[in-house]
Amino acid sequence: MTSKPILLSASIFSSIILSFMLYTPWSFLKWLDAVFLVGLVLLMAAAAMSLIEGKFFEAFIHSTKNFFAKVNKKEQLIRESEKRSFENPSFDKVFPARKNFFIIGMLLSGGSLLLSAAFYYF
């Protein structure tokens, strides 16, 4: 079994729980609102995964470490005596479920948006 059905069922279950927690009188439209919120959370998680995977923050982390290593004289002496460089080993972070988060997030948010618009206009 792949992770898509598990993620989809967990998202729908969490939207049901969320609709009961947020809205006291439960209705179908309130559930659609909760489905939209869960879809947006999944889309934000997929976006964060793609930023981490694309090494967006690595330049900030590297420059901060480099700055503090050059400012701290004790650390600089230790690096010179051990002949260490400022370069730390880089590890590739791969999130295989990123695509599933994006697809299910788009499906939930787009589907709930269309159903809400259909109920509102018709």
Using DSSP's 3-state secondary structure scheme, residue 78 falls into: helix
The string of pLDDT tens digits covering residues 54-100 is: 888 887 887 887 787 777 777 777 777 777 665 666 677 888 889 99
The pLDDT value given to residue 111: 95
Residues 84 and 46 in one domain: no
> What is the maximum span of the chain, computed from C-alpha positions, in angstroms?
76
Q: Are residue 41 and residue 4 in the same domain, yes or no?
A: yes
- Both 13 and 44 in one domain: the answer is yes
The domain total for the chain is 2
Q: Rounded mean pLDDT of 21-46?
A: 91
- Give how far the C-alpha of residue 19 lies from the chain's centroid of Cα atoms, to the nearest Å: 22
State residue 118's pLDDT score: 93
Domain that holds residue 68: 56-89
E strand or H helix that includes residue 54 = none
Q: Say if residue 39 is in the same domain as residue 64.
A: no
Q: Both 1 and 35 in a single domain?
A: yes
Q: Once rounded to an integer, what is the mean pLDDT over residues 101-110?
A: 95
| Residue 67 pLDDT | 80
